Chains A and B, each alone.
Chain A
Amino acid sequence: MELNKQTIEQLHKQLIEKKIKPSDILDSVYKRVESVDSKVKAYLMLTKDLAYDMAKKAGDRIMKNDNVTDLTGIPIGIKDNMCLEGFNTTCASKMLEGYKPPYTATALKNLIEAGAIFTGKLNMDEYAFGSSTENSAYQTTCNPWDLSRVPGGSSGGSAAAVAADMCVAALGSDTGGSIKQPAGLCNVTGLRPTYGRVSRYGLIAFGSSLDQIGPMTKTVKDNAILLKYLAGIDKKDSTSAPIDVPDYDSNLRKDIKGMVIGLPKEYMIDGMDKQVKAKIMEAVKLLEANGATIQEISLPYTDYALDVYYVVAPAEASSNLARFDGVQYGLRDTSADNLIDMYKKSRRAGFGKETKRRIMLGTYVLSSGYYDAYYKKAQKVRTLIKNDFDKAFEKVDVILTPTSPTTAFKIGEKAADPLTMYLSDIFTIAPNMAGLPGISVPAGFDAAGLPIGMQVLAAPFAEQKIYDLTNFYQTKTDWHEKRANL
């Protein structure tokens, strides 16, 4: 099998046995990019010189057997909202075209230390606003399983790149479902960690109380390996948790006997694709047959999650994006003849439609006279949503749901209707509001051959339970091994 198609686990074994070199994997990855990315359009930029330089360093480490980790020599793609010193970091926005940050995000630093290789910057919805990657100012990424369909979003570039073997793994970021939803639509394994598990330092902020960087991989095992290096407390992020990082991959359980899986009745909504539901129930049966206990649970505040999210996240975003004003960096309209005019013209030219929509929404809900009715109330309901989950996790180990109500939709299908678009994150948003970790793993295909994702959630910092269950599931199924024909 070509190297680019293999897992971190498989490649690591060959690397330390010195059967292959990091540059061999990189050759294979870039060859693949060359042949298919003109169709998929996942990469915004390749960092070839940097990558080969990193590959050489990784190769030296392996030759000298000096500080070799699971990730040494492994090519990883990065969503374009994580700062990498000296390299374009655009958030897929015209506003940040050509912007090169003078520092590197902690998550990326952790990977550099582990000896990983960065293949390039991956496409996304502008500032991570979206569920289809259509909101990128530069290009629309296509779903490798059907190029006329979206890969999901906002980490659509990352999901598509992993699905099309244009990297061995990728980093995404998730605010309302931006890792899990595209992972589900592209047949990839994507985990959104507990809020505070991975440092946000250097991740260009969208919703500061929700954002998390997470791994997008070909298997659960790879995911566990990658998270182990990403996670941990960071002095530069005061919201990162002072909780030890378990050795997720070595700790993986061999069975799931006695695990209690909760099925929330509120998630069986109208408008859910029957085939999606059928595949999820199939997975539930398989898990039950292997010793797990299934329990129906109730999360009564689920209905409010979407509304609450679209108050809190845009509010934070409107403030976070205010810094893009044309003063210090980024796009500046030089035709303006006074300060206010410069702000207006620069922001009008630099931001896309959905970005403007969210900024307006967020500005509105924070405005004097509306703050109590919207933002403050939303925060209260957010607490109630969290309480729902806390109660549920007193009884169950994990909660299982579909990742999205439908499979991948057509490019352009929902672009004109933001409300329908927002609904595609309905299952991922509630747990995110509660800060919970959650994964999406491949759970089969619909009749049209489009992937279906299964979401598994756990209590805060119980990523291990998620990995235990879904890794076991992957030992019993081969959905995750399926590849699109490109």
Chain B
Amino acid sequence: MNAADKYETVIGLEVHVELNTKTKIFCGCKNEFGAEPNTYICPNCLGLPGSLPVFNEGVLYRAVKAGLALGCTIADKSKFDRKNYYYPDLPKAYQISQYDMPIAVNGALEIVKKDGTRKKIGITRLHMEEDAGKLLHLTKSGQIGDAEESLVDYNRGGVPLIEIVSEPEMKTPEEAYLYLTSIKSILEYIDVSDCNMEEGSLRCDANVSVMEKGAKQFGTKVEIKNMNSFKNVQKAIEYEVERQIKAVEEKEAIIQETRLWNPEKNRTFAMRSKEGSNDYRYFPEPDIPPIVISEEYRQKIKKEIPELPMQKTERFVKEYAIPEYDAGVLTADQATAAYFEKTAKMSGEPKLASNWIMGDLLARMNAAGLQKISEVKILPEDLAKMIGLIKNATISGKIAKTVFEEMFNTGDAPDKIVKEKGLVQITDTGAIESAVDTVIAANSKVVEEIKGGKAAGLGFLVGQVMKQTGGKANPQMVNELLRKKIG
């Protein structure tokens, strides 16, 4: 038995998501990424003496919406608390967060694994809090301790966050990856965040432990930070599971600690021990009155939640008869789903539409480095038209590839391209017949072989006819004519 098979992995994720409000959570400063350092600041987000937080209602709206979309129970009454700790990126020396009365609890989301099985992952809680500033250490060695100077950019200080804490219910790195992409997908659907991991608007910490299969008690848990892409989350957990199993096998103790993922070296490194766990001295934030959520408010927001990815997937499977996996890919983001639906409806060929989008379009986008389907020049109505042209035999599947490439590059309509480039399929029997005759005459040896029972030669002849006609002959007609003439 393989060592790894003896163990079970337990993974819990804490996801921090920056909300896409216009202004920060407790002041009127802009909430925008990438500005010159310390330009979006004021006495409030600098925590200057005498300043007071004023809660941005847009944050509550988005947090409640996220809570509802993740199947949570929204609190009737919620409040903010102060989490006290010292760090230069936290100018008040406390973070306004939520402790014992979070805005949402007890949710769940479903993931679909590659093998088609589904799994529900519980969400313990979702709470609102403010982000901290960003530190920049001027150091040659890369070690903070060697820095001559450290700079602080407070632009991010006070950016609204929600923290989503999962139950420790994921068993594999793949499940963690799918949980994370599902969260991203849902939050993008309800338009509360752009969930960009590279820009830090979605950040994820993982708690990972291993235990022998069937054990009742979880192993010592290790927290992993600094994973700045979805793939890295999976890789970091994979690494960590391996490391922990090896340690257990070699009878080494696993230390409860925080480890940082290093994407260059593809491994985690110990950052700090968590043994003497921090005492944050939480207490209710006296500067912000408690929040009372009415049923009316909940209902109003509930109505504003669109069809979510999982519902859409199910509907696509049912309505368009496409495989669940395909539907899952197509519904990962709303724009792609809408693109597919439009193409499917206009062409009347959902299966073909799905194949073209899942295959050629996504591959072409990848090659061109496009992230979003909105950047693609081909309009869904044009893709539908192109499918129509294949269907009515105006162009062959092969010609369609050429047309598609041209559409992708220029954004021109397919009929225009077909006309301008003379790509219309030859369906005129006379024209095809003369080409067939020429080919038969020039390849008498092959013809003889076919007659002698070697059917493989037929394909060669079809190819020759297609070559003669510049690929425009209807391949089916070529086939039929050749068979008829050779007999």
CB distance B50 to A322 under 8 Å? no
CB distance A328 to B46 under 8 Å? yes
Q: Which of A166-212 contact B (CB under 8 A)?
A: 200-205, 207-209
CB distance A322 to B52 under 8 Å? no
**With A236-B54, A315-B283, A322-B92 in contact, is A83–B84 under 8 Å at CB?**
no
Q: Is B16 an interface residue (CB 8 A)?
A: no
CB distance A238 to B283 under 8 Å? no
Residues on A with beta carbons closer than 8 Å to the beta carbon of B51? 103, 201-202
Residues on A with beta carbons closer than 8 Å to the beta carbon of B145? 338
Q: Is B289 an interface residue (CB 8 A)?
A: yes
Contact among B49, B88, B281 for A368, CB-based, below 8 A: B281
| Binary contact track B53-65/A, C-beta < 8 Å → 1, others 0 | 1110000000000
CB distance A101 to B48 under 8 Å? yes
Residues on A with beta carbons closer than 8 Å to the beta carbon of B47? 323, 328
Report Cα–Cα, A239/B52, bound state, in Å. 10
Contact among B49, B86, B88, B287 for A239, CB-based, below 8 A: B287
Contact among B46, B50, B279 for A83, CB-based, below 8 A: B50
Residue of A nearest to B285 (CB): A208
Interface centre among B52, B93, B289 (most CB of A within 10 A): B52
CB distance A239 to B289 under 8 Å? yes
Q: How far is the CB of B283 from chain A (nearest CB, A)?
A: 6
**With A208-B286, A208-B287 in contact, is A235–B54 under 8 Å at CB?**
yes
CB distance B52 to A200 under 8 Å? yes
Interface centre among B46, B91, B94, B286 (most CB of A within 10 A): B286
CB distance A319 to B281 under 8 Å? yes
Report Cα–Cα, A278/B289, bound state, in Å. 43
| Binary contact track A351-375/B, C-beta < 8 Å → 1, others 0 | 0000000000001001110010001
| Binary contact track A93-109/B, C-beta < 8 Å → 1, others 0 | 00010010111010000
CB distance B91 to A327 under 8 Å? yes
Q: Is A37 an interface residue (CB 8 A)?
A: no
Q: Is B82 an interface residue (CB 8 A)?
A: yes
Residues on A with beta carbons closer than 8 Å to the beta carbon of B283? 315-316, 319, 366, 371, 375
Q: Which of B105-161 contact A (CB under 8 A)?
A: 145, 152
Q: Is B288 an interface residue (CB 8 A)?
A: yes
Interface centre among B48, B55, B88, B94 (most CB of A within 10 A): B48
CB distance B50 to A202 under 8 Å? yes
Q: How far is the CB of B203 from chain A (nearest CB, A)?
A: 23
Q: Which of B62-86 contact A (CB under 8 A)?
A: 82, 84, 86
Q: Is B306 an interface residue (CB 8 A)?
A: no
Q: Is B43 an interface residue (CB 8 A)?
A: yes
Main secondary structure of the interface of B (DSSP, over half): loop
Residues on B with beta carbons closer than 8 Å to the beta carbon of A368? 279, 281
CB distance B48 to A103 under 8 Å? yes
CB distance A237 to B52 under 8 Å? yes
Q: Is A154 an interface residue (CB 8 A)?
A: no
CB distance A327 to B88 under 8 Å? yes
Q: Is A343 an interface residue (CB 8 A)?
A: yes
Report Cα–Cα, A162/B88, bound state, in Å. 41
CB distance A323 to B93 under 8 Å? yes
Residues on B with beta carbons closer than 8 Å to the beta carbon of A397? none
CB distance B49 to A101 under 8 Å? yes
Contact among A204, A324, A325, A367 for B50, CB-based, below 8 A: A204
Q: How far is the CB of A309 from chain B (nearest CB, A)?
A: 14
CB distance A201 to B50 under 8 Å? yes
CB distance B287 to A238 under 8 Å? yes
CB distance B52 to A366 under 8 Å? no
Q: How far is the CB of A359 from chain B (nearest CB, A)?
A: 11
Q: Is A339 an interface residue (CB 8 A)?
A: yes
Q: Is A432 an interface residue (CB 8 A)?
A: no
Report Cα–Cα, A80/B43, bound state, in Å. 18
Report Cα–Cα, A89/B94, bound state, in Å. 22
Residue of A nearest to B281 (CB): A366
**With A319-B94, A323-B91, A327-B91 in contact, is A367–B52 under 8 Å at CB?**
no
Residue of B nearest to A96 (CB): B49
Q: How far is the CB of B4 from chain A (nearest CB, A)?
A: 38
Q: Which of A233-273 contact B (CB under 8 A)?
A: 235-239
Report Cα–Cα, A319/B282, bound state, in Å. 10
Contacts A239-B52, A338-B145 given; 19 further ones with Cβ under 8 A? A82-B50, A83-B50, A89-B49, A101-B43, A202-B51, A204-B49, A209-B286, A238-B289, A319-B94, A322-B86, A322-B92, A322-B93, A322-B94, A323-B47, A323-B92, A325-B88, A366-B282, A371-B282, A375-B283
The 5 closest A-B CB pairs, nearest first, are A322-B93, A366-B281, A208-B286, A209-B286, A204-B49
Cβ contacts A to B, 25 pairs, < 8 Å? A83-B48, A83-B50, A91-B49, A101-B43, A101-B48, A102-B48, A103-B43, A103-B51, A201-B50, A204-B50, A208-B287, A209-B286, A235-B54, A236-B54, A237-B52, A238-B54, A238-B55, A319-B82, A323-B91, A323-B93, A327-B88, A327-B91, A328-B91, A366-B282, A371-B281
Q: Which residues of A contact B (CB under 8 A)?
A: 81-83, 89, 91, 96, 99, 101-103, 105, 200-205, 207-209, 235-239, 315-316, 318-319, 322-325, 327-329, 338-339, 343, 363, 366-368, 371, 375
